[in-house]
Amino acid sequence: MRSNETWITEITLLGFQVDPGLKAFLFGIFLLFYILTMMGNGTILGLIWLDPRLHSPMYFFLSHLSIIDMSYGSSTVPKMLENLMMQKKTVAFGSCILQTYVYMVLGHTECMMLVVMSYDRYVAICHPLQYIVIMNWRVCTALASICWVFSFLLILIHIALLLRLPFCGPQTINHFFCQIMSVLKLACADIRLNRVVLVIASVSILVGPLFLVLVSYTRILFAILRIQSREGRRKAFSTCSSHLCVVGLFFGSAMVIYLAPKSSHSQEQRKVLSLFYSLFNPMLNPMIYSLRNAEVKGALRRVLWKWRAV
């Protein structure tokens, strides 16, 4: 390292470059979305905990998805809100690396959890008589644990490759959180290995799981079409439609952000896309499950009725 290089201790997050008059408006909108995210996913968690009828593998995995969505918002939005209203927009380098790690773990875990949820729906519809045996609680716990543990270990590789680099400036990130590619731009060393590993990981963690989801739902579709009664087909479709909407939102936005050519979006557009991925999706997921799922709506009515009766 050259003698005139200094190590970074703080990083400035530029966030959204907007007129001062718009900052208060954006603060209110983002705060509202964050509150809705926490309330919506918290409600889903509470209903699954309180209603015995939701103590099934499908809702066990949904509870993990709600935890991931709440953690997504909590890992990025509070600092973003602070930076919108404060003049000083710095974050400690160690905190920045921690945010990068947590954000990537949550993204990988959600990706894998959506695959597990599609497998759950496949077993429920294609092998209904064996469902309780195949998706027993031991298997469900093991699948959920694998999603979390594998993600924690996989992202450690990225962080280890990141921390081997010398960081000596600039000290500014043109983003509202410590996104890993933005952090890599601060390194004063060759980052080609990091880029190659990130591309391979992005393709494998998005394309591979999406392929598995599509395979599961292709087999589910053929199984549904073989059902004779119209009511039976309607019920089968209804158990999958919510999950399909969430899968479409997650993989669609993720592929636009991480797999689209770098030149296809400006940096400001990438910020908006990242905001959609980290805030809008977690806010929409509980709405999709509550509005399109009769069991969740029934559980909410039962809980509210019990509270009124107390």
Decide: 147 and 111 in contact? Cβ < 8 Å: no
The string of pLDDT tens digits covering residues 7-36 is: 778 888 888 877 777 888 889 999 999 999
DSSP designation for 262 = G
Residue 3 reports pLDDT greater than 50: no
Decide: 279 and 76 in contact? Cβ < 8 Å: yes
The string of pLDDT tens digits covering residues 284-306 is: 888 887 766 777 878 777 877 77
pTM of the model: 0.88
Residue 240 banded pLDDT, cuts 50, 70, 90? confident
Decide: 36 and 283 in contact? Cβ < 8 Å: yes
What is the average per-residue pLDDT within 115-136? 92
Residue 262 reports pLDDT greater than 90: no
Decide: 210 and 251 in contact? Cβ < 8 Å: yes
pLDDT recorded at residue 111? 92
DSSP designation for 226 = T
Residue 160 reports pLDDT greater than 90: yes
pLDDT recorded at residue 6? 46
What is the average per-residue pLDDT within 237-254? 82
Chain CA centroid to CA 245, Å: 14
- Please, which residues bridge with residue 11 across strands? 91
Instruction: For the chain, give the mean pLDDT.
Output: 85
The string of pLDDT tens digits covering residues 82-108 is: 888 887 788 898 899 999 999 999 999
The string of pLDDT tens digits covering residues 190-225 is: 889 999 998 888 888 888 888 999 999 899 888 888
Residue 4 banded pLDDT, cuts 50, 70, 90? very low
CA distance 255 to 210: 10
Domains of the chain (ranges; CATH) run 10-309 (1.20.1070.10)
Concatenated DSSP letters of 88-146: --EEEHHHHHHHHHHHHHHHHHHHHHHHHHHHHHHHHHHSGGGHHHHT-HHHHHHHHHH
The radius of gyration of the chain's CA atoms, rounded to the nearest angstrom, is: 22
Residue 233 reports pLDDT greater than 70: yes
Residue 5 banded pLDDT, cuts 50, 70, 90? very low
